[in-house]
Structure 1
């Protein structure tokens, strides 16, 4: 069974980072979690290879600086902290890219050690970030940073008044929103990201649908 399955490793780490950021930990303290999280992913892949697993997809993390909850928590009047095109927080996205860089290094190491298995890197970051760069192209509203379900503030999100609580409403056009409730993505976002992974440029190596169950082995994860 495992040998015929695509095993999705996570996404692992976002909840750890979110908890630490919301507890007021410094960026340097939170970076100390990165090797621990990557080791957990790597160890799980090794264990599953030992049980017969052959095809793994390990996702990188998303652009945290574009998430409604983070934009609300770290909202600032300092314009230089925001990307002028997307409105996302640059320093948080740099943290995401830092994590992804180190994850790809470890996946490269594992792939060389286990040449008989397929280890696919899922580029969640760029698969999602394009929606903020060109929202209209993908059917989203202009500057799609606000939550569909929420209340208050610039981003329709207030801590402790999240989606599901009394008095908190949801939008009537969720397909035009990237973010659902501040922390999670809408179904439309997930569908477009999945299409980009399975049929587009956001999986390394790419899926080879001409031969079911195979991937292009001539690759290396760029770091």
Structure 2
């Protein structure tokens, strides 16, 4: 098996790249439609899911695979295309006694970090398109684990060479309430709960043996054609003049990302042996919104390639794949695919930024890092006191409801 030179750079910023290259034998992915390679389609959540037919999948696979794009996703570029491993099979499509030693994809389009009960209690459960939340995906992994290894030593050896991608997840926890009319002020109160769910899932995977984990933040949702259509405003002040995106929603996404990254630091303190990496999807994607022409998107980054008309070619009643919609001739010239998901070209762009740029942060327990996240204020004189404080803060996060 070849050394994964490009994959190794995903986990090291340019300033920390060393000659010690990591070799992975398996990848396990969790998340939503940004990385689902077929679970939603196989779940029969809806009788005729639109991502189960063309034009979805037209660019690379030339048929619908269940991916919410015209072709490959970030998980395909970040992992499969760079590592040489097979494309990750969707968990719900596994056959009896199938060899899954190279990894499995547990992501489900529409999935949330929070369990469905959270949304039903708030009278928005009917909006959910799937009940397979992040905790369900982790439970699937636990069920699969005995087929991967049988003894503690065998599991330790196996997971030392495995990579866990935990997300992107959490975006749908906000999409559902936003699109039924909840305000940012109302939804922002749920951010700690969403972060808690992501941290609990990541912690559970570490407890199961995961050693290397990548946890991404959210994309700039204010640049989504769906958001731009639903929340259009006649006042120019609502839009970022540098990219045309909705400022308030991008600020919200950055708030989520900041909270997630800080919580991951606490998790790193609890599990110092784990290699936890934060992937900044927001900043990796932003260049194609600020300068689409310079980055290969001659038809722009805000207008959907496939849709049913309107200023951003997004129409909820003529969603891509439905009657009244039409796909553009060349999706590679667009960043947005169907209003909320991106094109293969856009996913490749973001993946390249993560692999070759400085949009990934391996969390290292250095003094400067701890000061930066506010854990050192001169009150903690020993590592034990510092760790105890962090655990208390993490415990507070996990006890919220």
Q: TM-score, normalised by structure 2?
A: 0.51
How many Å separate the matches in 1 of 2:163 and 2:355?
Answer: 12
Task: Give 4+ residue runs of structure 1 displaced > 3 Å after superposition.
Answer: 215-223
Aligned residue in 1 for 2:263:
106
Alignment of 1:64-213 (within 5 A): 64-141=221-298, 143-205=300-362
1:190-222 deviation per Cα after TM superposition (whole angstroms, max 9, x unaligned):
1111111122111112xxxxxxxxx98768496
Kindly indicate whether residue 174 of structure 2 is the aligned counterpart of residue 28 of structure 1. no
Over alpha carbons, which structure has the higher Rg? 2
More deviation in 139-148 or 57-66? 139-148
1:47-69 deviation per Cα after TM superposition (whole angstroms, max 9, x unaligned):
11111100111110110100000
Q: SS of the counterpart of 2:214?
A: strand
| Structure 1 position 126, deviation (Å) | 0.6
CA contact (8 A) 2:300 2:335 kept: no
Structure 1 unaligned spans of 5+: 206-214
1:73-106 deviation per Cα after TM superposition (whole angstroms, max 9, x unaligned):
0011100000112000001100001111111110
Aligned residue in 2 for 1:4:
161
Q: SS of the counterpart of 2:317?
A: coil
Q: How many residues align?
A: 214
Structure 2 unaligned spans of 5+: 1-157, 374-401
CA RMSD, 1 decimal: 1.8
Q: SS of the counterpart of 1:131?
A: helix
How many Å separate the matches in 2 of 1:37 and 1:6?
Answer: 23
CA contact (8 A) 1:87 1:143 kept: no
Q: TM-score, normalised by structure 1?
A: 0.90
